[in-house]
Structure 1
Amino acid sequence: MNNLLDNFGVNCFSEKNLKNRVPDHVFKKFLEIRDGKAELTLEIADIIANAIKMWALEKGTTHYTHWFQPLTELTAEKHESFISINQDGTSLAKFSGKDLIKGESDTSSFPNGGLRSTFEARGYTAWDISSPMFLKGEEGSKTLYIPTAFIGYNGEALDKKVPLLRSINVLKEEVLKIQKILGDNETENINVTLGVEQEYFLVDKKFFYKRQDLVLSGKTVFGCLPPKGQEMNDHYYGTIKERIEMFMAELDNELWKVGVMSKTKHNEVAPNQFEIALMFNTANVSVDQNQITMDMIKKVANRHNMVALLHEKPFQGVNGSGKHCNWSLSTDKGINLYDPDTLSEDNLSFLVYLLAVIEGVDRYASALRATTATAGNDYRLGGHEAPPAIISIFLGEQLEKILENIENINLNENSNSELNEIFIDKYISKIPKDISDRNRTSPMAFTGNKFEFRMPGSSASPATPIFVLNTIVADILREYYSYLSKSLKNKTIKEAVIALIKDRYPKHKKIIFDGNGYEQKWVDEAKRRGLPNLKNTVEGLPALIEEDIIQLFERNSVLTRTESLSRFHVYVERYNKQCNLEVSTGIRIARNQVYPFVIKYISNLSKSIHRSRKIFADEDLFEYDIKILKEIILLKNDMIILADKLDEHLLKAVKIENLYQRAKFYSDKVKPVLEKLREKVDKLEEKIATDAWPIPSYYDLLFNL
């Protein structure tokens, strides 16, 4: 047996493992519970928990943890030992159904946006039966990771998973209704699928820990590019260096062990930037596996004396890192509802689902934009390396032509035979097998049989944009179901679908754009079309508390009004903290590292000039040296003045009680000054000897692996 196949999933508790370890009636009940057709009882939970315990102990596991995803974009875990003590003092391994189903901890320090007070901040974790458990850790001290949802005392969503699961359920319901009304009586379940592409940087550990800005904020506050950056494109898809190959091989192996199907790896555009792509899975499992992947990238990098950077823009002047979320829908019969090959004379469902995304993204573009609004992503979006902040959809010429032609059909009572001829001959037959060419500047592109949302930042959980996209599409499909139900009273299915397209497409086609999103003329054109251009986090986040967005989540039972408001509060607070970290770190480096070094450099250069002038009387000989000395002194003075100004701004910022107004102050007043400070420090770096600069340079970080 191939070693790859031997190792895959060895540390993942799959349904196959469960089936082999429990009675048939228990496994059958488990499947019913997983599919939402039955409730989990404590009796069934006890049997499943015992099977899991025995499997874990056989693997050398000592602890278990309820693994959850709070609103930090990270994961959280509290480990509990399997060991327990009998009354007679003997020990035993204990893990009950109650231990499996529910966990409880204080968790008061996690952000909650006012959903609970610190003095009563009890939180509960509830087993997510739809996502497989896995083992992590070294031999003899492994831990069983149980994917869970994180909720408050009264059931409030405190994490990323709860709204995702809710959105998946509501989308499944609406898709099943559409399938049924379009004549599909066989489909019983719908899968919301997701494939994630993850970008990241690697730097040598010895340089990382000499950079306070990287350690504390995840990005370089200062640093000028070396003579060569990414402009030669020689790193992109280039030969993978041996050290990186060894890291990637171990990363793949570790992911495969826990059942994560790492499929693709390659060098990205920027030096020391890389990408890993996972195979498609159900959206919930895919989100969990992306979190596992991000954590594993960091851990494996550390073993190879490297540090992984997941920040969206760790280096100014080279490409940042994104997370491409490839989203689609499929039936339990294996049919991809976004596969154009399904489009035929008797099956127009593809067009209904395509239109739902077009209309939904147009109507709720600001909500999708808000899911990508972070301090880190502000440096990346619109930077001629990533999608612009304006949301648009790329369909491709063939699909756009189909919709345009349908829009122009003149429906009448005797149109059915004409529709057969025109629709089939002129439209469907012209769809090529592969229509996956993509506009790389598009925030959302149709890529063959799925939509690729390219705006999320590399450090973000894909759960946030996906739960919003799910909700948007579900909401639109509910309207379509109502429309089609009325239309089918006097129309055929084909006529009803075409009438729907003729009614909705003209109103929302303004969201479709296939040009260059990096050009200024697209910004002007988008404004003319009425598309929002929410350039940064401060402009983007308020969408979360717009009344129509709050109502969108409420009527779909995805987020309550209180939960929506809490997320806005949490994300604004996160932005403020990140800004404060970057600014404070910049001040500290400028004053405590750069300034003392520059003073010493000025002193040495002054003494050198002074000594040389005693030997050579000709003043012109030292004109250049004196000019450089003056420039360095002036830059040093400007640097300290700007650092002092930033200090004053920070004092003002913390006195602004309203968190959103504080965020605006950071965005409008503080960050521009930090950029000016960066200019001065970077110019100093350019003028001072490379080997004498007090912190590792971009050359060290980007070209030394």
Structure 2
Amino acid sequence: MSSNLARSQALQTISQRAPMDLGKTEPLSKIWACDVFNLARMEESLSKNAFKAMKKTFQTGALLDPATADVVAAAMKEWAISKGAKFFSHIFYPMTNVTAEKHDGFIITSPEGNAITDFSGSLLIKGEPDGSSFPNGSIRATNSARGYTAWDPTSPAYIMHTANGATLMIPCVFLSWTGESLDKKIPLLRSNSAMDSAAQRVLTLMGETEITTLNSSCGAEQEYFLIDEAYAYARPDIMQSGRTLYGAPPAKGQQFDDHYFGAIPERVQVFMQDFEDKLYRLGIPAKTHHNEVAPGQFEIAPYFEASNIAADHQQLLMVIMKTTAKAHGFLCMLHEKPFAGVNGSGKHVNWSVGNSTQGNLLDPGVTPEDNLHFLVFCAAVIRGVHLYGPLLRAVIATASNDHRLGANEAPPAILSVYLGDQLEKVFNEIKDGKISKTVKGGQMDLGLSQILKFDRDPGDRNRTSPFAFTGNRFEFRAVGSSQSVSGPLVAMNTMLADSLGWIADKLESELNSGKDVATASLAVLKEVMELHGTVIFGGDGYSSEWHTAAVKERGLKNLPTSADALPELISPEVVSLFERTGVLTPAELHSRFEVYAEQYINSIDVEAKLMVNMATTMIYPAAVSYLSELSATSATLQELGIELDNSVAKDIAKEASSLMATSSQLKAAYERHDFDSVQDHMRFLADTVCPLMAELRGYGDTLETLISDELWPLPKYREMLFIK
């Protein structure tokens, strides 16, 4: 009897799938931000004074008085109730990479027993979730439970519609009773403030007199896989770890390069349309979608927004993506490496800095050599990446992201900056004490009359760089697909704030010596290049030559695993950086190290236990069953005088024995707990447990290629990646 019942049922279920009928969809103009209590909605609902106060807070972060909060709360409640909401929720972002919600009703009862709605400014401003039940890195003891959520008026409230009704969602920060940040939003807001202060100082020294509040912006390209949920239910590894811990590569993977930008499967296209309509209702500007490189892999990219709102929207996007996929019979996989042998998924974070008066300060314009604002801010980025590259590596360090960093699908674990030919020439000339006119990219002319000529960019792109300039922003390409963008944004904003502060000091000194702004700025830029220019690299980041040269000749750190990278969070240089910029206290930073180290340890622990369990209860029994069938058939044929080649049976027996022996070794390894420190525990996992897991997988994957397809219990790659 077949032992792959779950797999057979999955295939049968999928064969009957059809795209969901969405009916008539509404135009963008009608649904855009219709479920968001944004400034336009506030202007309709609030008094003139209340709206003016809210607008100032929203745009500049100015203090909001409690009386205005009461007015806003009343208007927000009436709007939410008109949209069908009976509950409100403070939504916040603990150190888990996922969102958290506490729902309360708009209800109180009167002495007469009547139910009435109530939502005061105090309820809007503050909530009280348990501060010790979320990851906190020992900031809160188990018996010290009090924590607070506090309304962030710079990120608009919105209505979340589910099958169970509508809820008013209020973006909040999350902090302990003792005042420490327990979340990802507080450091992001602080980092923006630190960057704004430093940038204002630099711009003032450069002669600017009208300077509005500066903010960082973010546009995050989200990669993901879709598989039919029926496959996932038949795979314990996908359900519990988010990736396949076993799986032999199919004959066809991505070697034909035919999936990238290919025709989107109809069922997936319908999912995308439904998903994006939900995003538009919430004011999330989904801009681009397409097939990604690997089969079954796709990407969505929003238009850029202010980083605080972009971070909130990115978290919301991941939630909606998963729930919408489920409604369409898909499982949305955000793991960085769900399938071995094909590309994993990242989240390229496009980051820039600007304001309404000076514009985008990382836009070089047509003649970058004449754009002092751009040159100074770009130089600040160069200095920041050179000094704090290990920090950038640490903030994207997870057990899952370790599977893709450094492979031919993701940037290496060495942080360098790519500027492109044009800008690299400009900065090298500044280093040499000269500057000349840049050469434009010229015009693209194919010699075909029907194809219009167009201007070519002055520089190429480099997909092997972890931190690349891409026209008017930097793209941090190493961020993992399941991660919050807040951590990377905090690191980038903070290192920029520090570098701008350093530049301001140098610029002030040069100006005090009698130099004009241009001469003083070029002198500072020259010093930046002399001290930090070695971080600029425009070649192949995947090459072994670069890995050697980066470390030995340029002094850059190569941190291939999270066990190498996470301790950088508590290095003296990083602790000092966050403390002097006011973004994170030493206690808050140490708590993050403890939380992320624990997540790394727990992730590998879960996967190791799953691998042993699946080897013992699924793969080994399939091998024994097939060996039994082969031996019975061989014995029967021998009685008839027919001899069969038994090499396959011998190979299965050998691999099955190795599978069980390695399972025992892995079990003994993950049961060890006598470590002197969390660093030692992570090091043991990276150096001992992960190699054992890879070895165990090798035996399991080989058995998949030897055992009868009828007996194999797990859906295979060829099914999950190609059958939609």
Instruction: State the TM-score, normalizing by the size of structure 2.
Output: 0.92
Q: SS of the residue aligned with 2:219?
A: strand
Match of 1:420 in 2: none
Where do residues 130-169 of structure 1 align in structure 2 (5 Å cutoff)? 130-138=154-162, 141-169=165-193
Match of 2:313 in 1: 289
> Contact 2:367 / 2:437 at 8 angstroms: preserved in 1?
no
Match of 1:701 in 2: 720
Q: Give the Cα–Cα distance (whole angstroms) in 2 for the partners of residues 699 and 344 of structure 1.
A: 50
Match of 2:536 in 1: 512
**Bigger mean CA offset, 655-664 vs 149-158:** 655-664
Structure 1 residues 436 and 72, CA, compared in 2 at 3 Å: closer, same or farther? farther
Q: Out of 392, 411, 415, which is 1:391 matched to? A: 415
1:108 is displaced (CA, Å) by 2.6
* Match status 1:592 vs 2:617: yes
1:33 is displaced (CA, Å) by 3.0
Structure 1 residues 436 and 143, CA, compared in 2 at 3 Å: closer, same or farther? farther
Q: Give the Cα–Cα distance (whole angstroms) in 2 for the partners of residues 37 and 81 of structure 1.
A: 29
Q: Give the Cα–Cα distance (whole angstroms) in 1 for the partners of residues 302 and 368 of structure 2.
A: 31
Q: Out of 602, 608, 632, which is 1:577 matched to? A: 602
Q: Give the Cα–Cα distance (whole angstroms) in 1 for the partners of residues 567 and 366 of structure 2.
A: 39
Where do residues 169-248 of structure 1 align in structure 2 (5 Å cutoff)? 169-248=193-272
Q: Give the Cα–Cα distance (whole angstroms) in 1 for the partners of residues 350 and 708 of structure 2.
A: 47
The residue identity in structure 2 corresponding to 1:17 is R
Q: Give the Cα–Cα distance (whole angstroms) in 1 for the partners of residues 313 and 275 of structure 2.
A: 13
Match of 2:638 in 1: 613
> Contact 1:60 / 1:140 at 8 angstroms: preserved in 2?
no
> Percent same amino acid among aligned pairs?
40
Where do residues 434-473 of structure 1 align in structure 2 (5 Å cutoff)? 434-435=457-458, 437-473=460-496
Match of 2:681 in 1: 662
> Contact 2:579 / 2:585 at 8 angstroms: preserved in 1?
yes
1:691 is displaced (CA, Å) by 3.4
Match of 1:416 in 2: none
* Match status 1:529 vs 2:583: no
Q: SS of the residue aligned with 1:275?
A: strand
Q: Give the Cα–Cα distance (whole angstroms) in 2 for the partners of residues 139 and 204 of structure 1.
A: 21
Structure 1 residues 648 and 477, CA, compared in 2 at 3 Å: closer, same or farther? same
Match of 1:315 in 2: 339
Q: Out of 664, 671, 680, which is 1:644 matched to? A: 664
* Match status 1:555 vs 2:577: no
Deviations, residues 482-512 of structure 1 (Å, cap 9, x unaligned): 1111111210111001111111212211111
Q: Give the Cα–Cα distance (whole angstroms) in 2 for the partners of residues 503 and 651 of structure 1.
A: 53
Deviations, residues 167-197 of structure 1 (Å, cap 9, x unaligned): 0001011111111111221222212111110
Where do residues 620-631 of structure 1 align in structure 2 (5 Å cutoff)? 622=644, 624=645, 626-631=646-651
1:346 is displaced (CA, Å) by 6.8
Match of 1:635 in 2: 655
> Contact 2:510 / 2:520 at 8 angstroms: preserved in 1?
yes
Q: SS of the residue aligned with 2:171?
A: strand
1:344 is displaced (CA, Å) by 6.8
Q: Give the Cα–Cα distance (whole angstroms) in 1 for the partners of residues 500 and 710 of structure 2.
A: 62
Match of 2:384 in 1: 360
**Bigger mean CA offset, 559-568 vs 136-145:** 136-145
* Match status 1:427 vs 2:437: yes
Q: Give the Cα–Cα distance (whole angstroms) in 2 for the partners of residues 127 and 339 of structure 1.
A: 33
Structure 1 residues 466 and 52, CA, compared in 2 at 3 Å: closer, same or farther? same
Q: SS of the residue aligned with 1:612?
A: helix
Deviations, residues 363-409 of structure 1 (Å, cap 9, x unaligned): 11111110111100110001111001111111011111111112222
Structure 1 residues 344 and 298, CA, compared in 2 at 3 Å: closer, same or farther? closer
Q: Which runs of 5+ in 2 are unaligned?
A: 1-24, 443-454
The residue identity in structure 2 corresponding to 1:299 is T
Match of 2:90 in 1: 66
Match of 1:417 in 2: none
The residue identity in structure 2 corresponding to 1:680 is Y
> Contact 1:71 / 1:158 at 8 angstroms: preserved in 2?
yes
Match of 1:413 in 2: none
Q: SS of the residue aligned with 2:352?
A: strand
Match of 2:499 in 1: 476
Q: Give the Cα–Cα distance (whole angstroms) in 1 for the partners of residues 426 and 67 of structure 2.
A: 55
Q: Give the Cα–Cα distance (whole angstroms) in 1 for the partners of residues 382 and 488 of structure 2.
A: 16
1:235 is displaced (CA, Å) by 0.8
Match of 1:78 in 2: 102
Where do residues 324-339 of structure 1 align in structure 2 (5 Å cutoff)? 324-333=348-357, 335-339=359-363
- Runs (4+) of structure 1 exceeding 4 A deviation are 35-38, 342-347, 428-433
Comparing both structures, which one devotes a greater share of its residues to helix? 1
Where do residues 477-492 of structure 1 align in structure 2 (5 Å cutoff)? 477-489=500-512, 490-492=514-516
Q: Give the Cα–Cα distance (whole angstroms) in 1 for the partners of residues 154 and 174 of structure 2.
A: 15
1:213 is displaced (CA, Å) by 0.6
Match of 1:34 in 2: 58
Deviations, residues 645-694 of structure 1 (Å, cap 9, x unaligned): 11111221x34362221111111111111111111010000111223211
Structure 1 residues 637 and 212, CA, compared in 2 at 3 Å: closer, same or farther? same
Q: Give the Cα–Cα distance (whole angstroms) in 1 for the partners of residues 120 and 284 of structure 2.
A: 27
The residue identity in structure 2 corresponding to 1:605 is L
> Contact 2:131 / 2:175 at 8 angstroms: preserved in 1?
no
> Contact 2:220 / 2:349 at 8 angstroms: preserved in 1?
yes
Structure 1 residues 93 and 342, CA, compared in 2 at 3 Å: closer, same or farther? farther
Q: Give the Cα–Cα distance (whole angstroms) in 2 for the partners of residues 485 and 308 of structure 1.
A: 52
Q: Give the Cα–Cα distance (whole angstroms) in 1 for the partners of residues 43 and 362 of structure 2.
A: 33
Q: Give the Cα–Cα distance (whole angstroms) in 1 for the partners of residues 212 and 595 of structure 2.
A: 38
The residue identity in structure 2 corresponding to 1:645 is Q
The residue identity in structure 1 corresponding to 2:706 is K
Match of 1:414 in 2: none
Match of 1:419 in 2: none
* Match status 1:375 vs 2:375: no
1:242 is displaced (CA, Å) by 0.5
**Bigger mean CA offset, 690-699 vs 470-479:** 690-699
Instruction: State the TM-score, normalizing by the size of structure 1.
Output: 0.95
Match of 1:415 in 2: none
> Contact 1:250 / 1:300 at 8 angstroms: preserved in 2?
yes
1:139 is displaced (CA, Å) by 6.8
Where do residues 666-677 of structure 1 align in structure 2 (5 Å cutoff)? 666-677=685-696
Q: SS of the residue aligned with 1:644?
A: helix
> Contact 2:390 / 2:568 at 8 angstroms: preserved in 1?
yes
Structure 1 residues 648 and 96, CA, compared in 2 at 3 Å: closer, same or farther? same
